[in-house]
Amino acid sequence: MNLFREEAEQQRTFALDARLEQSLRQLADQEKRPPEEILQTLIEAGLQYRRQSEEAWQCWKLLTPREQEVAALVCLGYTNRQIAARLGVTPDTVKTHMRNLLVKFNLHQRRELRERLAGWDFSAWER
């Protein structure tokens, strides 16, 4: 299967694992699209996911330890009041940390923060 094409007559081919190629062909059949198109879509999605993960990590490293703690607790499903009680601060202080978090991650809602950090392991913040 020719997976990549270069200009003119040059062609680049890459071998796929037999199981992976079979899965790709099945998906192409289901979607009634050429395997090369499916593969390109999957690679683009994977690269986008990787970029977003790296961006999230870079943002995370800019957070203060307290902001990281608030972000972790938000991702674990805690409300502002619950976070405030756990940290011994006021709910308004938690709101301030949340505003800072959203600005640093360039987000608008806490739901977006949970989505951006979905899959991260925050179990260390559970006591």
Low-confidence spans in the chain with pLDDT less than 50: 5-6, 8
Pair of tokens at residue 100: 């800072």
Quickly name the fold that domain 63-127 has.
Arc Repressor Mutant, subunit A (1.10.10)
Q: With beta carbons less than 8 A apart as the criterion, state whether 60 and 68 touch.
A: yes
What pLDDT was estimated at residue 9? 54
Eight-state DSSP code of residue 15: -
What pLDDT was estimated at residue 3? 52
What pLDDT was estimated at residue 16? 72
What pLDDT was estimated at residue 10? 62
pTM: 0.70
What pLDDT was estimated at residue 33? 92
Q: Where are the domains of the chain?
A: 1-52, 63-127
Question: How far is 115 from 94, CA to CA, in rounded Å?
Answer: 19
Helix H or strand E encompassing 108: none
What pLDDT was estimated at residue 38? 86
